[in-house]
Amino acid sequence: MKVLHISEKADGGGAESVFRETVLLLKDLDTTRSHYVASKPTPGMDFTVDYPFTSKPGNLLDLIYSTENKRQLDRYLAELNPDLIHLHHYANLSPSVLSSLHSFRKKRPDVRIIQTVHTFEYLCSHHAGFDYKKSMRCLDCGKQRFKLKIFYRNCSRLGFIHSIGKGINSLIAHYYYGKKVIDQLIAPSEFMKNTIAENNRFAAERISIIENPVAKSFLSGIAEVAKKDQLIYFGRLSDEKDIELLIRAYADYVGKSQCPYKLLIIGDGPEKDALVELTSRLGVRHLITFMPFLQHSALKAHLCDSKISILPSKCFENAPMMVIESLAFDILPIVSGHGGMKEMVSKFHFGLTFKSDSFSSLSDMISYAIDHYPALIADTKESRLKAGRLLSGERYLANLDQVYKSVQEV
């Protein structure tokens, strides 16, 4: 059996890291199928991109519908003639990918197509589940097949023109979704599965939950390192991550503490300058260190010597690996009490939640975590063992194999 894996690219974090780990595991361990990759060329990977999308970064029209990507994928599908297609994150390839899959299926009605959903494309026209204009979580369009509100709400991240482009992009995508081009979805969390199913965008029985895999060495323990009295945030510095709330909560905590922990913020994004200025206005600039985005190899040193991590996102998140990364480095995570963040803390019985969007609740939770840190971090063995079981490459492959077989039997 020939399986084609399609994604926008294989370098980066989040969806790209899941795609990368999926391909590596399958190519190494799945002896019953042949696996091929279609994505943008990705130097430095441990696998070959068999079918590269070589179109240059385009204008807005290319992001709405790329005729060049469709032409290339049409040719790749005709050449390979796969029996099963596994679609990952394709946003910047445009929904012309779905158009190509739909055309191929007309020639090969027996082909089966699976999609791993990393974002909220079934529920939100710009995939984020977040209204950037109002700076709030939003799934108002969830039940609608064709999502029109973006055309007058301008709720995409980059304003009016981008919202119009994303709206048209979504109309095209959902036209093909309505043609049932996708047979089965894979979601990494109960939250994502339930949200899609409850909004009637896909039948629950056609959504499989498979937790994202992590490398085998990830949860095997860390070297003994003397930890600092330090809080850490690592990730994008953008509105939906709500680092402003973190800084305000931290300033409130500092005002009540005689010997406050320091705060390390690692990452880049459009909010960085405003956040640095906010720390000065609140009088905590001397206690907060900003560092740029770091690759994981460089980030490890700062994870090793931190005690508490914080993810204050306004957005829903899906299955944030920050909880697992914190567990791996004996860091106590504090997360917003909604969406995939709440689910991850609950699933692994590790970490704390605070009342969403409340800087006073986060401030209180920071104080609580510091005061009770030894007891809260004392025994992570059971949580680490559970994470090792649920997130192992072997379990991921077994679950993926089951999905592949089930769709072939339909």
What is this structure's pTM?
0.90
39 forms beta bridges with: 52
The domain spans of the chain are 2-213+392-409, 220-384
Per-residue pLDDT of the chain (410 residues; tens, 9 = 90+): 999 999 998 887 778 888 988 999 999 999 899 999 999 988 877 888 999 998 876 777 888 999 999 999 999 999 999 999 999 999 889 999 999 999 999 999 999 999 999 999 999 999 999 999 999 999 999 999 999 999 999 999 888 999 999 999 999 999 999 999 999 999 999 999 999 999 988 999 999 999 988 766 555 555 567 899 999 999 999 999 999 999 999 999 999 999 999 999 999 999 999 999 999 999 999 999 999 998 777 888 999 999 999 999 999 998 888 898 898 888 999 999 999 999 999 999 999 999 999 999 999 999 999 999 999 998 788 888 888 888 888 899 999 999 999 998 86
- Per-residue buried b or exposed e for 296-307, using 16+ beta carbons within 10 Å of the residue's own CB: eeebbebbbbbb
pLDDT tens-digit map of 349-359: 999 999 999 99
Contact at 8 Å (CB) between 195 and 123? yes
Common-topology check for domains 2-213+392-409 and 220-384: yes
Hey, which bits of 216-287 come out as E strands? 230-234, 262-266
The answer to whether domain 220-384 has CATH 3.40.30.10 is: no
Phi, then psi, of 318 in degrees rounded to 5? -120, -80
Question: 2-213+392-409 has which CATH code?
Answer: 3.40.50.2000
Can you tell me the distance from the alpha carbon of 72 to that of 176, in angstroms, rounded to the nearest whole number? 19
